[in-house]
């Protein structure tokens, strides 16, 4: 009896007997149950992106586009699924701790983000059929991922202050008081290979919500006196937005893997409410806000990844990636009120679109990482380095997104726990360049003038000052290859 006759192996997808088919159905039911349980949990929050998610990728400095070997192929390069045979499950999560402080140029206290750690995750299940027709392999995958971002931030402001505040305190409240962003990419992928070439696509439906608050100037003259602060809170969500990640990879020689992936830009347009708490001075003038319906607009960029991976001997793997994020497509973030009016007994003014001018620029990162098999088939250690240019020009720097020029170093490892169960850990520290802003375009949002015949008050610049940030990321992943748990008894050929 040949080896392939002794049991249903990976090459035959484990379906060559009725028992194998039944076991696969049981596995499928189990995995679908896991996915439904995860999907019914609260969506992991996210905001404008920093590099990156995925425990193996983080440990390797984000260099993971050439030949991703787990469920995070959904994010980096779906072609990587083509080499993942049998039933596989990836459960990945990381916690990010962003330190961000702002010392206003006009004086006052230095303020800091106090939101604490922030969790994102990615559960993915896949099944590789092995050879199908003329294809060398075919794999299907299902799961969700999240952007790599900080979705919760909290700063001091009029929401939690004791009046009266000094005039110079906390000017950042006109840019941001708190955020709570939640975005998730529900994804289904297919990948196949023919000889040394692989291709894949992950089709994604993007669903999310955004809630944030900031102070709005309502005074009759320019200034920052909190007595004239209105507090605007935006709370919006979308249905779904379609997008995709396309990827190809090639192995012209066994030790060399080349990978390329592309995610096109998409617009996140959400609908919800814009509620405004007016200051007492406005209430005394019988100013009121009628209506609260609003839309919210944010554009995510094209993302292009290229990676080259080479294996030296049997233990050392080295990869270098270049990633381009075309953030120049994001000129503004917009709140688009729908028939909201600011009224007094004598006036009625429609609230115009609120435009946050961003003028972002394209960002490029270079990532280098390596894996070394310290204990063959048992323990792999890894390390990486990343350098990324800033997508945020100096004039647009604010407390909302601390994703400026950075250098990151990372370490990690993967241990085989038992049969097909592997555990991976990673840690990365991001050194983010300080930003000394003297020509800020970050200004107050103002309420329309409510006195007949008057003109709107001039805005005050609130973004000048020194910004400091750093980021620490801790990540954990469990990888399961279910076929490796099947009993494979030794059978002696007659």
Look at the block and give the residue holding tokens 């049997």: 314
388 C-beta neighbours (distance < 10 Å), count = 24
DSSP state of 14: T
Q: Which CATH number characterizes residue 32's domain?
A: 2.40.160.60
Residue 494 maps to a domain: no
pLDDT tens-digit map of 278-327 = 888 888 878 889 999 999 999 999 999 999 999 999 999 999 999 999 99
Point out which residues pair with 271 in neighbouring strands.
Answer: 237, 295
Residue 493 maps to a domain: no
**On the CB side of 128, how many CA atoms lie within 13 Å of its CA?**
29
pTM of the model: 0.84
Q: What pLDDT sits at residue 48?
A: 67
Domain that holds residue 202: 3-485
Taking 50 as the pLDDT cut, the residues of the chain under it are 1-47, 159-168, 489-494
The dihedral sign for the CA sequence 57, 63, 68, 72: positive
Distance CA 144, CA 387 (A): 27
Using alpha carbons, list the distances in angstroms from residue 264 to 297, 299, 301, 387: 17, 11, 7, 23
Give how many domains the chain has, as a whole number.
Answer: 1
Residue 98 maps to a domain: yes
Pick left, alpha or beta for residue 269 (phi over 0 → left; psi -120 to 50 → alpha; otherwise beta).
beta
Distance CA 362, CA 452 (A): 45
Q: What pLDDT sits at residue 490?
A: 43
Q: What pLDDT sits at residue 10?
A: 30
Residue 452 maps to a domain: yes
Output the six-digit token pair for 395: 């004039």
Using alpha carbons only, give the angle 223, 224, 226 rounded to the nearest 5 degrees. Answer: 130
How does DSSP assign 60-74, residue by residue?
Answer: TTT--SS---STTHH
Residue 491 maps to a domain: no
Residue 371 maps to a domain: yes
Residue 285 maps to a domain: yes
Q: Are 230 and 216 contacting, i.e. CB atoms less than 8 angstroms apart?
A: yes
**On the CB side of 233, how many CA atoms lie within 13 Å of its CA?**
10
Distance CA 302, CA 236 (A): 24
């Amino acid at each position: 009896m040949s080896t392939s006759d002794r049991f249903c192996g990976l090459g035959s997808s484990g379906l060559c007997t009725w028992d194998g088919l039944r076991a696969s159905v049981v596995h499928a039911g189990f995995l679908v149950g896991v996915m439904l349980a995860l999907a019914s949990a609260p969506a992991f929050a996210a905001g404008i992106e920093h590099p990156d998610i995925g425990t193996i990728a983080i440990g390797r400095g984000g260099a993971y586009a050439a030949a991703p070997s787990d469920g995070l192929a959904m994010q980096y390069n779906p072609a990587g699924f083509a080499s993942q045979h049998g039933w596989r499950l990836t459960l990945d999560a990381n916690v990010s701790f962003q330190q961000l402080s702002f010392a206003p140029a006009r004086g006052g206290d230095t303020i800091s983000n106090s939101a604490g750690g922030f969790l994102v995750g990615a559960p993915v299940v896949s099944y590789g059929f092995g050879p199908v027709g003329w294809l060398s392999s075919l794999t299907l995958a299902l799961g969700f991922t999240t952007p790599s971002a900080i979705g919760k931030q909290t700063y001091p402001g009029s929401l939690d202050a004791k009046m009266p505040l000094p005039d110079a305190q906390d000017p950042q409240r006109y840019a941001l008081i708190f955020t709570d962003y939640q975005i998730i990419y529900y994804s289904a992928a297919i990948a196949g290979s023919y000889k040394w070439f692989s291709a894949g696509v992950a089709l994604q439906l993007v669903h999310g919500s955004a809630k944030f608050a900031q102070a709005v100037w309502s005074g009759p003259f320019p200034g920052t006196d909190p007595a004239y602060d209105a507090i605007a809170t935006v709370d919006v969500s979308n249905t779904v937005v379609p997008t995709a990640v396309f990827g190809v990879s090639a192995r012209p020689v066994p030790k060399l893997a080349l990978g390329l992936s592309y995610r096109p830009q998409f617009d996140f347009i959400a609908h919800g409410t814009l509620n405004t708490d007016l200051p007492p001075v406005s209430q005394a003038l019988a100013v009121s806000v009628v209506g609260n319906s609003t839309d919210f607009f944010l554009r995510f960029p094209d993302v292009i990844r290229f990676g080259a991976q080479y294996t030296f001997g049997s233990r050392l793997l080295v990869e270098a990636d270049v990633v381009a994020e075309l953030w120049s497509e994001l000129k503004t973030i917009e709140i688009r009120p729908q028939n909201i009016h600011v009224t007094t007994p004598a006036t009625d003014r429609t609230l115009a679109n609120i435009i946050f001018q961003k003028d972002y620029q394209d960002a490029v990162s270079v990532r280098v990482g390596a894996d070394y098999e310290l204990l063959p088939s048992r323990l792999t250690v890894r390390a990486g380095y990343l350098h990324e240019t800033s997508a945020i020009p100096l004039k647009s720097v604010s407390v909302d997104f601390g994703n400026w020029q950075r250098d990151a170093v990372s370490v990690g490892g993967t241990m085989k726990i038992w049969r097909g169960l592997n555990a991976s850990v990673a840690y990365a520290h991001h050194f983010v360049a300080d930003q000394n802003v003297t020509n800020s375009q970050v200004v107050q949002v103002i309420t329309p003038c409510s006195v007949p015949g008057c003109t709107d008050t001039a805005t005050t610049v609130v973004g000048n000052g020194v910004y400091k940030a750093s980021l620490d990321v801790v990540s954990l992943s469990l990888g399961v290859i279910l076929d490796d748990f099947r009993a494979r008894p030794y059978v002696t050929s007659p």
